[in-house]
Amino acid sequence: MNNRIDKERIHLMSPCATVCAAAEIAPVVEESVLRAVIEKVLRAHAILCCRVILDADGEARFAPNGAPVVGKSGLMRRVAGRQRAAGHAVSLFSCSSDPDSPDGIVDETLDVAMLDATSPHAYDPLLPGARDILLNLGEFLDCDALSGDVSRLEELRARTAECFRNACAYLTAAEAIRSAVRPAGDFRKPENDLKALLPDEARPGGRERRFFLGAHTCMGYVSFAGDFAREITVRVACPFGGSPDALLRALGAEARARGLDVVYFLDPLSPETYAQLYLPQLPLFITGERVPAARVYDGLFADSTSTPPEYEAVLNRAYGCLRAAKALHDETEARYIPRMDFSALVDVESRVYKEMDALARSVAGL
């Protein structure tokens, strides 16, 4: 069986932007609690950026570099579309501060990744030329024309960073409120039911991967959990503060012991917590989100708490900060667009296709 995510496409969320820097502390809960959560979330995000996107086990990595609006996202969309049209399984990583813009793509068929190498997820190729390729799109900018905008661009950058710091503080406050309510769940029935779907014999070798499938963004909470087909989806109904994490860990461990690949999807407010599980070789997707599902397990939690208004309030404050950051980013882009020679991207795109076609021939043994 294929050890990759066994879908024609899977849409994932890049972790880079929603939590990106140490945050100012919102006066909602005790400061020491917030700081501990911030440090935990930041550490997890930093690790996951490397583990998920950069360590894609690729034969090659293409890293487009440059300023805002130099064509990185458009280039990745076109490359993803071309590879899908060729029958390849392609994973798309959306930017968590702008879900309509990809931060990276992975051609699962060729084991090749393409990622945005600019701040806040700057990336230097580890094996430049030998395996990794840096595409410097910034060389097609009119630097003389941009030099007159330095002061305003510096101001926009500082204000955007402040918006993200404030958003991080509010998101961290939301998690502190939610984590104070942790109802216990009895997962014995779904665990027994779902384990019955696994292979009978134990076989080592199952692969484990971790991704984000949703994020808190300028558009509110955005999730791609609904991309999975209804007939392979199982939903665990969770009250506020409840999580299927214990069930997912138990099933994931058992699946790996029986030789199946496991894909965990992480809670964007609490990355050490599993929010969804996907077993691609069955296939089976288990989630706590309200999505159409073939089977729903309800009433597993002894206590049920309604969502407190304070939680909604701090989330809305976070979304407001992220919308403000997006507006500032849009103004930054507007200053770059007329100074970029987009016609030069034709040659860059051709180079990427040439390299990918060479990889395809190598994979096919031609």
pLDDT above 80: residue 128: no
The predicted-structure confidence for 65-118, as pLDDT tens digits, reads as follows: 666 666 888 889 999 999 999 999 888 888 887 888 888 888 888 888 888 877
CA distances, 354 to each of 23, 277, 351 (Å): 43, 36, 5
Question: How far is the C-alpha of 65 from the C-alpha of 123, rounded, in Å?
Answer: 9
pLDDT at 15 over 60: no
What share of the chain in percent tops pLDDT 70? 81
Q: What token pair was written down for 8?
A: 């024609």
Whether pTM > 0.95 for this model: the answer is: no
Helix (H, G, I), strand (E, B) or coil at 181: coil
Confidence of residue 60 (pLDDT cuts 50, 70, 90): low
55 Cβ neighbours under 8 A, 6+ residues apart: none
Give the pLDDT confidence of 244-302 residue by residue, as tens digits: 999 999 999 999 999 999 999 999 999 999 999 999 999 999 999 999 999 999 999 98
Task: Place 365 in a pLDDT band, splitting at 50, 70 and 90.
Answer: confident
Read off the pLDDT band of 9 (50, 70, 90): very low
Mean pLDDT score, 161-189 = 93
Lowest mean pLDDT among 8-17, 71-80, 151-160: 8-17
What is the predicted pLDDT for the residue at 19?
Answer: 34
Q: What is the pLDDT, as a whole number, of residue 24? A: 30
* pLDDT value at 43 more than 80: no
Contact call for residues 296 and 286 (beta carbons, < 8 A): no
What is the Cα–Cα distance from 273 to 243, expressed in whole angstroms?
A: 8
- Contacts within 8 Å (CB) and 24+ apart, 195-200: 195/251, 195/254, 197/282, 197/284, 198/254, 198/255, 198/258, 198/260, 198/282, 199/258, 199/259, 199/260, 200/258
**Quick one: pLDDT at residue 72?**
85
Assess whether pLDDT exceeds 60 at residue 44.
no
Tell me which of 141-145, 187-191, 302-306, 349-353 is least confident.
Answer: 302-306
pLDDT (0 to 100) of residue 136: 84
What's residue 18's pLDDT?
36
pLDDT of residue 67: 61
Question: Closest by alpha carbon to 111, among 15, 47, 17, 207?
Answer: 207
